[in-house]
Amino acid sequence: MPNPPAKVAIFISGTGTNMAALLYASRAEKAPFEIVLVASNNPQAEGLALAELEGVATFAHSHKGHSREDHDAAMEAAVRESSAQYIVLAGYMRILSDAFVERWAGRILNIHPSLLPRYKGLDTYARAIAAGDSHAGASVHLVTPELDAGEVLAQARVAIAPGDTPESLAQRVKLAEHQLYPRALAEYVARGSDPEYLYARVAELALALPETHAKDSHGSPGFRVGTEKSGRFFAHFSVRHHGSEHVAVLVKTSGMDELHGLTESQPEVYFRPAYYGASGWVGVILNRPDVDWSHVGEWLERSWRTAAPSRLTRQLNAAEPF
């Protein structure tokens, strides 16, 4: 069964042509995202009128006379109300507070009109022309507290013509942006349910623990600690097993009481897996939008400790900071 489309809020400040490109892309059959809110710091933003015309919920709150934190809080409340899972900045000309960005880490995207890491900030077209670059372009990236510095997800190159002005170049970069952003967003929201991507993340964490290796068990990938010959499993990777919808990593709890407590109190995060559940393994669900990977890492380490020989756990304890 395909995943339901990811819910996306778009922040704009102006014309909102990228917002329009995303909105119309979301209307294509089988689009992996839907736009549940268009919000702006500028009540006069042209894009708001288009969103309204298209029946998308809108929210406008001028930043004037408000602190950054207060303005961000109002925007965030609107996002939560819309139940959006991702925030997409499309010509949103405000810097978000660090706390806001950290709360939404991995779930805010931005488009920037340059080939990052070149030309962060403003006047990107004029700077590319002045530098004599052969190409300008656009980048879709994750938003982190440092301006225009998060992981680049996708880029489009646009040739600079001999007589280009910043305005003529900007027009073509916009055309490229309109193609790039919907595709980059579609790929990004899909990766959270792509077993290959999720496996790679788990493998990276699991294999960073001492003396570990990957090994299949009953046809599913898993991770063991110890030698290739006599190692013990501390994690199993499970892809929609036995009718379950989950892509998950199975890790060892302290026993049935803990397993039961976890699956009862946080059914959106934990489930009791078939077979393994009987011996105290819990499934940590990975195909959901707000996976906390450091939490997954902690579980893997805990599970590793239960399976590792004591010479290795002693080593790890000694290496830990006081």
Catalytic residue IDs: 112
Residue 184 binds ligand GAR (CB under 6 A): no
Residue 180 binds ligand GAR (CB under 6 A): no
Site string for ligand GAR, 126-145 (x = CB under 6 A): ------------x-------
Q: CB nearer to ligand GAR: give 77 or 93.
A: 93
Q: CB nearer to ligand GAR: give 111 or 160.
A: 111
Q: For residue 194, give every residue at least 6 positions away whose Cβ sits within 8 Å of its Cβ, in sequence order, or none.
A: none
Give the separation between CA 17 and CA 237, rounded to whole angstroms.
Answer: 42
Residue 112 binds ligand GAR (CB under 6 A): yes
Give the separation between CA 94 and CA 99, rounded to whole angstroms.
Answer: 14
Q: CB nearer to ligand GAR: give 119 or 223.
A: 119
Task: Give me the amino acid identity at 213.
Answer: H
Residue 168 binds ligand GAR (CB under 6 A): no
Q: CB nearer to ligand GAR: give 111 or 284.
A: 111
Contacting ligand GAR (CB under 6 A), which of 87, 90, 180, 300?
90
Residue 150 binds ligand GAR (CB under 6 A): no
Give the separation between CA 22 and CA 86, rounded to whole angstroms.
Answer: 13
Residue 13: Cβ within 10 Å count:
18
Residue 209 binds ligand GAR (CB under 6 A): no
Residue 114 binds ligand GAR (CB under 6 A): no
Provide the pairing of β-strand 6-12 with 86-89. Answer: parallel
Give the separation between CA 302 and CA 182, rounded to whole angstroms.
Answer: 39
Specify whether the CB–CB gap between 143 and 150 falls below 8 A. yes
What residue number has its CB nearest to ligand GAR? 91
How many residues sit in the footprint of ligand GAR (CB under 6 A)? 14
Specify whether the CB–CB gap between 148 and 141 falls below 8 A. yes
My answer on whether omega of the bond before 166 falls inside 30° of 0, hence cis, is no
Residue 113 binds ligand GAR (CB under 6 A): yes
Q: For residue 225, give every residue at least 6 positions away whose Cβ sits within 8 Å of its Cβ, in sequence order, or none.
A: 209, 210, 211, 212, 231, 232, 234, 304, 307, 308, 309, 312
Taking the complex as a whole, the smallest distance from the CB of residue 42 to ligand GAR amounts, in Å, to 10
Q: CB nearer to ligand GAR: give 108 or 206.
A: 108
Site string for ligand GAR, 34-73 (x = CB under 6 A): ----------------------------------------
Compute CA distances 312 → 88, 209, 231, 303, whole Å. Answer: 44, 10, 12, 13
Residue 17 binds ligand GAR (CB under 6 A): yes
Q: CB nearer to ligand GAR: give 119 or 271.
A: 119
Instruction: Note the residues at the interface with ligand GAR (CB under 6 A).
Output: 12, 14-18, 90-91, 111-113, 138, 174, 177
